[in-house]
Amino acid sequence: MRDILLYFAVKYSGCWERIYQAFAEREVTKIDEINKVKSENPDNWIALIDENYPEEFKYVIKPPFVIFLKGNKKLLSRFKNKFVMLNNFYGDANLDWVKKDFNNDEWKEKINKSVFMIDYTNKDIIESLLELNANIIAVNTKCDEDIKKEKLYKSIIKSNNLVISYGLKNLNEQLLN
């Protein structure tokens, strides 16, 4: 099942509706095609059914069937303090709180002890967090958007942080480090 999730995630660029439809309509797949996709994408992805699938994605509408990773994967499990700023009610509230207290000295002390999971569209906040040497997991939910040539994407990876993407196109044609 895990390999089939990967296959559909690659085939449909991470688009939740199209992947769901493939399952609902019992789309026929060929084993050799599934194996080819699996061999091209060895280990930089996590499926919804995996034990290490991030808890934070369980609270978003239409959680991704597969997430693709580029960068420091240890950030997913290394910190207890996570500030999640994804596009849902709690994410918006956390984002407002971060913006309000950004220059507070007490806040700056907490930065190194925390990880910030933030929607990639909040580029100004990501850039500010990078300047403070924060631990960042940037989440790109735009399935068909190619971000790998952007300066911000390169800065996130270069600073030992992590980019999570719903679509494979966003990171690399093949996810090899």
Which residues of the chain fall short of a pLDDT of 70? 86-104, 143-145, 168-177
E strand or H helix that includes residue 70 = strand 66-71
CA distance 100 to 94: 10
Can you give the residue ranges of every domain in the chain? Answer: 1-165
Which two structure tokens, joined as six digits, stand for 120? 């990639």
- Would you state the pLDDT for residue 97? 65
Q: What is the pLDDT of residue 132?
A: 82
The pLDDT score that the predictor gives to residue 174 is: 38
**pLDDT, position 102:** 62
Q: Please tell me the predicted confidence (pLDDT) of residue 176.
A: 31
Which pLDDT does position 163 carry in this prediction?
A: 92
Q: What is the pLDDT of residue 119?
A: 85
- Rounded-to-integer distance, Cα 177 and Cα 166, Å: 18
Collect all residues with Cβ–Cβ distance below 8 Å to 130 and sequence separation of at least 6: 136, 155, 156, 159, 161
| H or E segment to which residue 157 belongs | helix 151-158
* Residue 145 confidence (pLDDT): 66
What is the model's pLDDT at position 31? 93
| Residue whose pair of structure tokens reads 């060895």 in the numeric block | 42
Q: Could you tell me which residues come within 8 angstroms of residue 104 by beta carbon, excluding any fewer than 6 positions away?
A: none
